[in-house]
A and B are shown apart, each in its own frame.
Chain A
Amino acid sequence: MIFLDHLINGLSLGSIYAIIALGYTMVYGIAKMLNFAHGDVIMIGAYIAFCGLQYWGIPPVLAILLAMVFCTLLGVTIEGFAYRPLRQATSLAVLITAIGMSYLLQNIALMIWGANPKSFPTTFINGSNIRIGQLNISSATLITIVANIVIMVTLTLFTSKTKLGKAMRCVSEDRGAAELMGINVNRTISLTFAIGSALAAVAGVLLCSSYPILQPTTGSMPGIKAFTAAVFGGIGSIPGAMLGGILLGVIEIFGKAYISTELGDAIVFAVLIIVLLVKPAGLLGKPMREKV
């Protein structure tokens, strides 16, 4: 029973990592950049939802929608202002800019909402906890896992069936060719950021529903872990992000439970290293073929 308990927790944590990792992997696939600020967009999304629920008393669904809209606008603005001018620059330069953006978001949040941690209201997601025998599954956990599946399915359908989705895949395969085929690259990239950021808002709400502490640094560690999850699963691959996220969550919980709580993070990173040594492009990643 305890094993199942840990498994469910792992799936829940993993689902959150998966949703965050989706944002990283989509942006990487299309813009070939690591958006370090992604973790902090999550934090902003959570804060907006918090304000909605706590200060403006709007119903939960509306609060989440508000967070999604806000984050979408935020993501597109960041892309347009800070990343687009650097399209031609080295990946390192873009990385540094993304890091700067991450610090910027954290400090703006600090200025607006202060350093005191807020407790994210979980009453709206509360319902009965489901009890199967001795197992206790909280409603937050259940909703997280379901949300993850829904998002994955929607995204896969979107990229394979819709025109915009296919355009996204084109641009990530070969930007030059896509442009020649008449695809508006700038708009497609902005769309990708928009979707990624909207997902970040959802991830933020789910993260804070399971772990109800909200402070400006809340998005930082989950961001790094989700980033490793995306690479673990194969960066640029949507199913890879999902797989990587879930596996990482499960490994983390099991590592803490059966090996050592102090070394939980170390175990996660060690597994990542081992997998990458065996499969250098990640679990589902395509090995890069270099043209000589």
Chain B
Amino acid sequence: MKKLIALLLALALTLTVCAALAEEPVVLKIAHIGPTTGAAALYGLATQHGAEIAVDEINAAGGKYQIELITEDDEHNVEKVINAYNAALDAGAQMILGSTTSKPCEAAGAQGYVDRVFFLTPSASSTAVIEDKDNVFQVCFTDPNQGSASAQYIADHKLGTKIAVIYNNADVYSTGIRDTFVEKAAEMGLEIVSEETFTDETTDFTVQVGKAQEAGAEIVFLPMYYTPASLILKTASDKNYKPIFFGVDGMDGILSVEGFDTSLAEGVMLLTPFVATSEDEKVKSFVAKYQEKFNETPIQFAADAYDGIYILIAAAEKAGITAEMAPEEACDLLIAAMKEIQVEGLTGSMTWDESGAVTKTPMAATIVNGVYVFED
């Protein structure tokens, strides 16, 4: 009995001492860099808002880390992103969540490699972003990954053998996915009957869709963002052409375009790690908070950024980052930590290796009656 009381007293004492010695929460300065103005603003704003939701949650929960979120605009421009990066560092950023789009991330990441600054990009998916450097990690799949995964999926599920590809020749995202898709499709015995390109300013797709139709393609692969995809869907409908449209993560958001006739997207398939209509508890909570704060449904980019913040916290905790640490010091510690953590996020269960690429499972969804439905 005495021993028990002594034990309990010791326990109580220890806990009290611990409480008294409880550390002040460490304030981490994270900078979000993305295009918040200009043509790509909707992606930059999505990642910024997604990050903000996560930051609010973490700060409200109390706990070891508090986050001060610095935001900088890179205007989706390879020159301006460097200015944004410098401004962020001048403002005291210790690590970068960004940048949102591939080309600017490639440029800023290269500068960060020289300066030793840690980058976690939520959505920049080209391989050039992580190539030849060790300081950049991705939340999203690399483009080549998506390309070959799509071809694999189409072959495995026997969706068809005659495929047309329409891609954006001016966009590294689109061309990156297309390259590996074509390669993998050849491997899997799928026939590419038509390949057409367009550029950022294209709004008229009659020629590209017409050629796919002429060639008798049963599947049309669309490695692009949803804006041109929606035009292609309309053009096909006008031409009475009804193939299976297969998209990648950039297709996400097509259902939330204001004024879009969702019947045009009926039957569209896409590979994506996130859909806003999922029944998963975490997803539902995130979507609800996002809708309340920003009055719109989050797209995949927002989910990537949300996960990004949580990943940074996990890595910071593992690495023991402190508030006074300079970015250069934090960088190497974070790089080491990233290889050891596993994070369960909205977009899946993620781990990393030293290349900076993420390992997680891609999933396919189909649009049925204006809603995403997961396959398998």
Contacts and interface: CB of A to CB of B under 8 A. Distances in A.
A and B touch in the complex (CB under 8 A): yes
A5 B210 contact: yes
Contacts of A116: 42, 257-258, 296
Contact of A122 (B197, B227, B234, B296): B234
A262 B197 contact: yes
A119 B39 contact: no
Interface in A217-232: 217-218, 221
B16 interface: no
A257 interface: yes
Given A136-B239, A138-B238, A213 B231 contact: yes
Given A110-B37, A136-B239, A213-B231, 9 more contacts: A5-B206, A9-B204, A50-B259, A115-B45, A116-B258, A119-B257, A217-B39, A221-B203, A253-B206
A117 B231 CA distance: 12
A5 B201 CA distance: 22
A116 B37 CA distance: 11
B41 interface: yes
Given A118-B258, A119-B260, A221 B45 contact: no
Chief secondary structure at chain A's binding surface: mixed
A145 B39 CA distance: 30
A84 interface: no
Nearest to A1: B214
Nearest first, the 5 closest Cβ-Cβ pairs linking A and B are A115-B41, A119-B260, A211-B203, A119-B259, A221-B201
Interface of B: 37-39, 41-42, 45, 169, 196-199, 201-204, 206-208, 210-211, 214, 227-228, 230-231, 234, 238-240, 257-261, 296
Given A50-B259, A211-B231, A215-B39, A262 B240 contact: no
13 contacts: A6-B210, A50-B259, A54-B259, A110-B37, A114-B42, A117-B42, A119-B258, A119-B259, A122-B234, A221-B203, A257-B207, A261-B196, A265-B201
Interface of A: 2, 5-6, 9, 13, 50, 54, 110, 114-123, 129, 136, 138, 210-213, 215, 217-218, 221, 252-253, 256-257, 261-262, 264-265
Given A54-B258, A118-B259, A213 B227 contact: yes
A212 B234 contact: yes
B199 A265 contact: yes
B196 A118 contact: no
A9 B206 contact: yes
Contacts of A212: 230-231, 234, 259
Contacts of B208: 261
A103 to B, nearest CB: 12
Contacts of B207: 6, 9, 253, 256-257, 261
A106 B124 CA distance: 27
A120 B204 contact: no
A264 B240 CA distance: 25
Contacts of A119: 230, 257-261
| B45, B169, B207, B239: most-surrounded residue (chain A CB, <10 A) | B207
B330 to A, nearest CB: 32
Contacts of A215: 39, 227
Contacts of A262: 169, 197, 199
Contacts of A256: 207
Given A13-B204, A117-B227, A265-B201, A2 B234 contact: no
A13 B42 CA distance: 28
Nearest to A253: B207
Nearest to A216: B39
Contacts of A217: 39
A115 B201 contact: no
A2 B296 CA distance: 42
B110 to A, nearest CB: 27
B303 to A, nearest CB: 17
A265 B207 CA distance: 14
Contacts of A118: 257-259
Contacts of B39: 115, 215, 217
A262 B77 CA distance: 22
Given A129-B238, A138-B238, A221-B201, A2 B210 contact: yes
A221 B261 CA distance: 25
A114 B198 CA distance: 25
Contacts of A264: 202
Contacts of B199: 262, 265
Contacts of B42: 114-117
A252 B210 CA distance: 15
A213 B230 CA distance: 8
Given A117-B42, A213-B230, A257-B207, A136 B238 contact: yes
A213 B39 CA distance: 13
Contacts of A117: 42, 227, 257
| B197, B203, B231: most-surrounded residue (chain A CB, <10 A) | B203
Contact of A261 (B38, B198, B258): B198
Contacts of B238: 129, 136, 138
A32 to B, nearest CB: 29
Contacts of A252: 204
B197 A120 contact: no
Contacts of A210: 204
Nearest to A115: B41
A213 B210 contact: no
